[in-house]
Structure 1
Amino acid sequence: MTPADAAEVLALCAAFDLRTIGEADARAWAYALRDIPLDDDTRQAVADHYGVTEKRATPADVRRIRARIREARIGAAHPIYDGNPTETGKQFTARRREQLAAAAEGHLPPRSITQALDAAPPAAVLALVAGVGRPVDDEPRPYITPEQRSALRAPLPNQRASLPALAVPCPVETCRAGRRRLCKRGAGIELRNNVHGRRRDAYAVEVTTCPDCGAAPSQHCTAPEPHPARIRAAQEAAA
């Protein structure tokens, strides 16, 4: 800022606080603001100062408010510098400063951080958003049919699906495994490939009609234990 520029700034201040201006004032302000140009931001800084206080503006006030005006533009623009793999550190510093200066001058428009990063929501997120407001009874189709699930489980003998007796609780006193829970033997070790015999029998009673005595599902056989034919029928039905 030159003394002539400083004199213009002081004249603007005098319009608010009626100060008298001399050559010495212009030279002193010019030296205090020697790295600050006379531009619209400097003029706005003076106006902003007198918009909130009656105190006389000082060079420090003008410098501080002008910096705040420019920092607000930078924050609103969210300048993102992608860089160049071949540039030197000196080149990076110079180009980054140029970008920040352009944002401070208002040459970069205000934009959100998402716009600055050119980021778009992932396709999966967009798909979920598209489903917002869908009626509750409009359920999506399952990704796999029951027939396909059965075909996948069939060759996996160690999976729970191959143990249909898990559908009923285990009646063995030392086990008492609940529905869908594996039976356990001593020391709490799970039986991965089998169930207790009494649980197998309980399952046969629960789901099968006895071929020998005609007992309906959930009804016990006329014998103390389920008839062997009933147990075989249950196994064949689950196969």
Structure 2
Amino acid sequence: MTPADAAELLTLCAAFDRRTIGESDARAWAYALRDIPLDDDTRDAVADHYGRTEAWITPAHVRKIRTGLRTQRIETAHPVYDGHPDESSVEFTERRRAQLTAAADGTLPSRTIGQALDAAPPRAVLALAASIGRSVHDEPRPYVAPETRAAIRKTLPGRRAALVELAVACPNEQCRAAVRRLCKSSRDVELRTGVHGARRDAYATTYATCPECGSGPSEPCTSAEPHPARIRAVREVEAA
């Protein structure tokens, strides 16, 4: 920053704090900010400062706020440099520095980490892509293999055969029934005709493939809870 640049910046400051500006002020600010250019980020630093406080701004404030603005752009751009096989360490440093500068200047757009890493599409998208070209009349495969369903039923007492969810422990905080044990209500009464919703979801996640997101047995759905289609699928198979 030159004294002329500093004088222009101080004129902007004076619009907020009514300070008087002299040649010595411009020279002092130019020396304190000698490695900082007079650009939009520097001007924005002054405006941001006076948008938050009435205290007089100093060169230290300008430097700190300007650095914060540029650092935020770098963080949102997630710059990733893959490098070149034949480049030297000096070339790597120069190119990486140029990339970070571009991100700080805003010429590198904001993007997610996945976009920056060119990550593969989500599992649900891959599942949809895999179904392209398959006839809609194809017989869908069962979400719970018949042999798996038979093995589960054999582990349960005869009077509890319908409650296949007993094959998993109940994750309900107030119940925590072990495998093959009936769920209990808040009054410590056994539930003989059903199980807690959390246990139903756990059973579907453990043994069924989700028709909505493609998650396989023991793989959680892409949502926070199992998709309703997964719950319906496991119920339809058990009713068959």
TM-score, normalising length: structure 1: 0.54
Q: Which whole-Å CA distance do the structure 1 matches of 2:56 and 2:130 have between them?
A: 58
The one-letter code matched in structure 2 to 1:106 is G
- Distance in structure 2 (CA, Å) of the matches to 1:129 and 1:69: 41
Q: Give the letter aligned to residue 101 of structure 2.
A: A
Q: Secondary structure at the match of 1:21?
A: coil
Letter in 2 for 1:49: H
Q: Judging changes above 3 Å, is the alpha-carbon distance between structure 1 residues 85 and 58 closer, same or farther for their aligned structure 2 residues?
A: same
AA in 2 matched with 1:73: R
Partner of 1:104: 104
| Paired position in structure 2 for 1:55 | 55
Aligned length: 143
In 1, Cα distance between equivalents of 2:105 and 2:122: 34
Identical-residue share of aligned pairs (%) = 73
| Segments ≥4 residues shifted beyond 6 Å | 128-131
Supply the AA of the counterpart residue of 2:50.
Y
Q: What is the CA distance between 1:120 and its match in structure 2?
A: 1.8
Q: Which residue of 2 aligns with 1:78?
A: 78
1:56 partner amino acid? W
Matches within 5 A, 1:1-239: 1-121=1-121, 126-127=126-127, 140-142=140-142
Seen in structure 2, the aligned counterparts of structure 1 residues 112 and 122 have a Cα distance that, compared at 3 Å, is closer
- How far off its partner does 1:140 sit? 4.1
Q: In the TM superposition, what whole-angstrom CA distance separates every residue of 1:165-208 from its partner, at most 9, and x where no partner exists?
A: xxxxxxxxxxxxxxxxxxxxxxxxxxxxxxxxxxxxxxxxxxxx
Tell me what 1:186 maps to. none
Report the Cα distance in structure 2 between the residues aligned to 1:125 and 1:117, rounded to whole angstroms.
Answer: 18
Unpaired runs of 5+ in structure 1?
132-138, 150-239
CA RMSD of aligned residues (A): 3.2
Considering Cα pairs closer than 8 Å and 6+ residues apart, tell me whether 1 or 2 has the greater RCO: 2
TM (norm. structure 2) is: 0.54
Unaligned runs of 5+ in 2: 132-138, 148-240
